[in-house]
């Protein structure tokens, strides 16, 4: 039966996409068997449900092709029990298939529910490998992330995911942690943005708990996921601490995942020590999805949200919206919402009416149009906003304009900075400053909402 099972897996591997096979089929092993019954291993209850819902008929079909009929397939969540004996069980008549020494800890929350990291940050629901739509733009990044999560790193435990906003780097970063936690590989997964890491270190210094901070990241961490590392630009103390922390983690064979909008060598004011460590591992990039991938993304989202969208409408949305996944989601939601709320049939004409505003606004949004809007709303001149003035009435609008330029255009930070006569690092500082204000819900928060509404409505 062991040889039959290996043949079944081999045939399924030829049918399924490589990432699906490695995610769901490869980890499954044969536990017991007799003439009409086999029991297969599974790491957790969610895995069992997934196998039954999606792959059980495939298993049965492949066994049938091998001449094995009337077979009853069951799944069992593996415990710490070690199956070492090869002798037939006298009571059940079943044979243990192979020895499976497992070191699994208690099962945590199942996928579909929010899972909390050790530092209090939550996974975003749906940010799993299974929910990520793989295309030519992301196949390498997906495969590298999944391999790291499964421990198949080929000598490298550090991964850098490079992508513009809205293309899926956060999804893959969190999927790694999600997989590790839900499969009970480790509970010591720490996830934070570069800014949060910095703030936590500053808080520790102020409250004289820096040793606790160091111990947490250096000795109590198995997996470190750090997002938006480009925001470490100019933060010398944080860079030094992170470089030392990485030395501890890598020496202990721990896993590290970084994400950012720029390559380590392109991040300004990043010291050589940290830059070299960020470049140690595998660098993967997620590009904009092609048309076929956009169609599959829309169909996946429609299924998740329960939308009944005709194929021709899905294809039209994929054709018109080609910038990033968030834009696709916005278009899909808009079409479904208008059809549902207004009682309209979801067709091409409805999609055109919804997407017209998105594509029109997108075409009109440039760094220059945002600059003009901010100057108009704050009663300053374009000469003022690109000047070297440090007056608050100039600095705050300039920072907001840079932040909005980053949010609503595809221009790189360096080019945005040049548009405001500022260095790359200054532009990053401006974006950081606005993001801090947004978290504090200060008056700038309302101003940004007001400006964003104008930009998104096309009223520039």
pLDDT in tens, 108-166: 343 333 444 444 456 677 788 988 999 989 999 999 999 899 887 666 788 999 988 88
Residues 212 and 314 in one domain: no
In the predicted model, is pLDDT for residue 101 greater than 60? no
Residues 374 and 440 in one domain: yes
pLDDT at residue 305, as a whole number: 81
pLDDT at residue 72, as a whole number: 83
Residue 125 lies in a domain: no
pLDDT at residue 123, as a whole number: 66
Residues 145 and 40 in one domain: no
Residues 78 and 193 in one domain: no
pLDDT at residue 69, as a whole number: 66
Residue 184 lies in a domain: yes
Residue 132 lies in a domain: no
In the predicted model, is pLDDT for residue 303 greater than 70? yes
Residue 72 φ then ψ, to 5°: -105, 115
Residues 150 and 276 in one domain: yes
Residue 307 lies in a domain: yes
CATH of the domain at 220: 3.40.50.300
Range(s) of the domain holding residue 358: 291-362
Residues 75 and 19 in one domain: yes
CATH of the domain at 358: 1.10.8.60
Residue 226 lies in a domain: yes
* Parallel, antiparallel or unpaired: strands 37-42 and 30-33: antiparallel
Specify the residue for token string 């480009």.
Answer: 230
Higher-confidence residue: 87 or 255? 255
**Model pLDDT for residues 357-391, shown as the tens digit of each residue:** 776 656 567 899 999 999 999 999 999 999 999 99
Domain boundary among 362, 382, 413: 362
In the predicted model, is pLDDT for residue 260 greater than 70? yes
pLDDT at residue 195, as a whole number: 86
pLDDT at residue 375, as a whole number: 94
Q: How confident is the model at residue 458 (pLDDT cuts 50, 70, 90)?
A: low
**Mean pLDDT, range 414-428, rounded to an integer:** 88
Domain boundary among 362, 392, 415: 362
Total domains in the chain come to: 4
Minimum mean pLDDT among 11-15, 140-144, 166-170: which range? 11-15
Residues 259 and 275 in one domain: yes
Determine contact, residues 113/52, Cβ cutoff 8 Å. no
Residues 279 and 299 in one domain: no
Residue-by-residue DSSP string for 184-249 = TS-S-EEEEEHHHHHHHHHHHHHTT-HHHHHHHHHHS-SEEEEE-GGGGTT-HHHHHHHHHHHHHH
Domain boundary among 362, 387, 418: 362
Residue 114 lies in a domain: no
Specify the residue for token string 């990039």.
Answer: 285
* Parallel, antiparallel or unpaired: strands 95-96 and 37-42: unpaired
CATH of the domain at 402: 1.10.1750.10
**Mean pLDDT, range 416-431, rounded to an integer:** 89
Residue 115 lies in a domain: no
Give the separation between CA 384 and CA 308, rounded to whole angstroms.
Answer: 51
Q: Is 116 exposed, middle or buried (0-12, 13-18, 19+ CB in 10 A)?
A: middle
Residue 131 lies in a domain: no
């Amino acid at each position: 039966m062991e040889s039959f099972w290996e043949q079944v897996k081999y045939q399924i591997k030829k049918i399924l996409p490589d990432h699906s096979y490695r995610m769901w089929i490869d980890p499954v092993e044969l536990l017991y068997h007799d003439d009409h019954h086999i029991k297969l291993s599974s790491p957790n209850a969610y895995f069992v449900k997934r196998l039954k819902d999606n792959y059980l008929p495939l298993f049965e079909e492949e066994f049938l092709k091998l001449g094995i009929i009337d077979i009853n397939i069951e799944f069992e969540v593996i415990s710490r029990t070690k199956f070492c004996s090869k002798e037939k069980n006298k009571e059940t008549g079943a044979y243990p298939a192979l020895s499976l020494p497992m070191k699994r800890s208690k099962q945590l929350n199942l996928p579909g529910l929010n899972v909390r990291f050790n530092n209090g940050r939550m996974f975003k629901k749906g940010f799993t490998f299974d929910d990520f739509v793989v295309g030519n733009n992301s196949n390498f990044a997906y495969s590298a992330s999944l391999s790291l999560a499964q421990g198949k790193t080929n000598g490298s435990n550090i991964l850098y995911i490079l992508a513009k906003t809205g293309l899926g780097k956060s999804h893959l970063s969190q999927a790694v942690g999600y997989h590790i936690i839900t499969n009970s590989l480790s509970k010591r997964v720490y996830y934070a943005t570069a800014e949060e890491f910095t703030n936590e270190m500053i808080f520790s210094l102020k409250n004289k708990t820096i040793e606790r901070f160091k111990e947490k990241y250096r000795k109590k961490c198995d997996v470190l996921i750090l997002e938006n590392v480009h925001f470490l630009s100019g933060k010398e103390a944080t860079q030094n601490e992170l470089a030392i922390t990485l030395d501890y983690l890598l020496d202990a064979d721990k896993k590290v995942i970084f994400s950012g909008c720029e390559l380590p060598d392109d991040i300004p004011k990043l010291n050589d020590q940290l830059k070299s460590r960020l470049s140690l591992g595998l660098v993967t990039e997620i590009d904009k999805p092609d048309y076929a991938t956009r169609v599959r993304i829309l169909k996946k989202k429609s299924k998740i949200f329960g939308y009944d969208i005709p194929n021709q409408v899905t294809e039209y949305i994929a054709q018109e919206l080609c910038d990033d996944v968030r834009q696709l989601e916005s278009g899909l939601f808009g079409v479904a919402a208008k059809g549902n709320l207004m009682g309209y049939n979801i067709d091409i004409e409805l999609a055109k009416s919804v997407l017209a505003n998105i594509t029109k606004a997108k075409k009109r949004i440039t760094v220059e149009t945002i600059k003009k809007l901010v100057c108009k709303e704050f009663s300053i001149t374009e000469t003022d906003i690109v000047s070297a003035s440090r007056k608050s009435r100039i600095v705050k609008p300039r920072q907001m304009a840079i932040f909005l330029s980053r949010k609503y255009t595809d221009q790189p930070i360096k080019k945005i900075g040049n548009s405001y006569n500022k260095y790359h690092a200054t532009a990053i500082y401006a974006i950081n400053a606005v993001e801090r204000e947004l978290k504090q819900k200060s008056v700038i928060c309302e101003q940004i909402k007001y400006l964003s509404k104008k930009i998104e409505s096309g009223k520039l």
